[in-house]
């Protein structure tokens, strides 16, 4: 069985790290150099129907920050790496996020554009009908604006349960990307887990990820499941409040 390593990024900042999931431009460049040193080749969601081996890596960016185009795409093109950009359609054209013209420009550079929902709400807190409406709206908007199919969904906040998966498949999403920090055994279905790279991720930790260091990955998984258990204790409404306050900070704040 082949393992597929998926890394998740958010915004890339030159200096001021206004978003707690942003990383500095020089660090992102260093991360990409290390990916190349390990002889990985990158794939995007359009490659998932092909034969994938252990040298493949999937890089993705959530939300649709303007730095996707202005910084990340330039570094990726310099190093000849692919990536998938999951855009939140309600964010498009708001401060700190790309306009539709910029999303189109990103697509014209050859990058894969997929959905990160319309509202960026925690989908598991919504009714099945609300989830379907949200996902349909985002999918339809991207397809109409860009003229290319949307087959993949990145879950906002990693919020997932059975009704979210059912709604995603019902609305035509073949591939679902979570925030669970673990490797993917490629033959095990259409749900893909990703390891988040954020402000406090050091280059040495990225090196551990790239060699699939079991101890490091297990530590990250344990932290993830502890956070998940804490979230389960409080109500979705309370969690959503704090999640919006600390996670969904605008880049220009």
Cβ proximity of 108 and 69 under 8 Å: no
Determine the pLDDT at residue 253: 39
Determine the pLDDT at residue 200: 84
- Min mean pLDDT across 19-23, 29-33, 74-78, 85-89 is at 19-23
- Min mean pLDDT across 71-75, 89-93, 231-235, 240-244 is at 240-244
Which has the higher per-residue pLDDT, 248 or 132?
132
Q: Which of 5, 70, 3 is nearest to 31 (CA)?
A: 5
Buried b (16+ CB within 10 A) or exposed e, 74-97: ebbeeeebbbbbbbbbbbbeeebb
Determine the pLDDT at residue 227: 74
Which has the higher per-residue pLDDT, 227 or 181?
181
d(C-alpha 76, C-alpha 60), whole Å: 11
Q: Are strands 112-115 and 23-24 parallel, antiparallel or unpaired?
A: unpaired
- Decide if pLDDT at 150 tops 90: yes
Determine the pLDDT at residue 134: 98
- How do the domains of the chain map onto residue ranges? 3-246
In this structure, the dihedral spanned by the alpha carbons of residues 169, 172, 174 and 177, taken in order and rounded to 10 degrees, is -70
- Decide if pLDDT at 243 tops 60: no
- Does CATH place domain 3-246 in 3.20.20.370? yes
Read off the pLDDT of residues 91-106 as tens digits, 9 standing for 90 and up: 999 999 999 999 999 9
- Measured in whole angstroms, the distance separating CA 74 from the mean position of its chain's CA atoms is 18
pLDDT tier at 244, thresholds 50, 70, 90: low
Determine the pLDDT at residue 251: 38
Determine the pLDDT at residue 184: 81
Q: Which of 90, 190, 192 is nearest to 142 (CA)?
A: 90
Determine the pLDDT at residue 53: 85
The rounded percent of the chain whose pLDDT value lies above 70 is 87
In terms of average pLDDT, the best of 19-23, 97-101, 181-185, 217-221 is: 97-101
pLDDT tier at 250, thresholds 50, 70, 90: very low
Contacts of 229 (CB under 8 A, 6+ apart): none
């Amino acid at each position: 069985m082949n393992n597929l390593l998926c890394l998740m990024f958010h915004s890339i900042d030159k200096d001021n790290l206004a978003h707690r999931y942003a990383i500095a431009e020089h660090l992102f460049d260093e991360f990409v150099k290390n990916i190349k040193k390990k002889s990985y080749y990158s794939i995007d969601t359009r490659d998932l129907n092909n034969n994938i081996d252990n040298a493949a890596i999937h890089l993705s960016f959530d939300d649709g920050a303007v730095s996707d185009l202005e910084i990340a795409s330039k570094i990726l093109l310099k190093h000849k790496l692919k990536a998938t950009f999951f855009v939140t359609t309600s964010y498009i054209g708001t401060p700190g996020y790309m306009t539709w013209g910029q999303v189109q420009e990103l697509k014209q550079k050859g990058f894969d554009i997929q959905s990160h929902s319309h509202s960026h709400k925690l989908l598991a807190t919504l009714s099945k009908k609300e989830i379907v409406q949200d996902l349909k709206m985002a999918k339809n908007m991207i397809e109409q604006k860009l003229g290319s199919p949307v087959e993949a969904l990145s879950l906002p906040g990693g919020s997932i349960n059975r009704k979210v998966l059912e709604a995603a498949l019902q609305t035509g999403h073949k591939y679902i990307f979570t925030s669970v920090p673990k490797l993917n055994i490629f033959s095990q279905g259409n749900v893909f887990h990703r390891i988040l790279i954020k402000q406090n991720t050091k280059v040495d930790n990225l090196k551990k990820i790239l060699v699939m260091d079991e101890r490091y990955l297990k530590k990250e998984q344990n932290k993830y499941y502890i956070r998940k258990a804490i979230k389960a204790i409080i109500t979705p409404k309370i969690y959503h409040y704090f999640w919006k306050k600390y996670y969904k900070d605008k880049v220009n704040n």
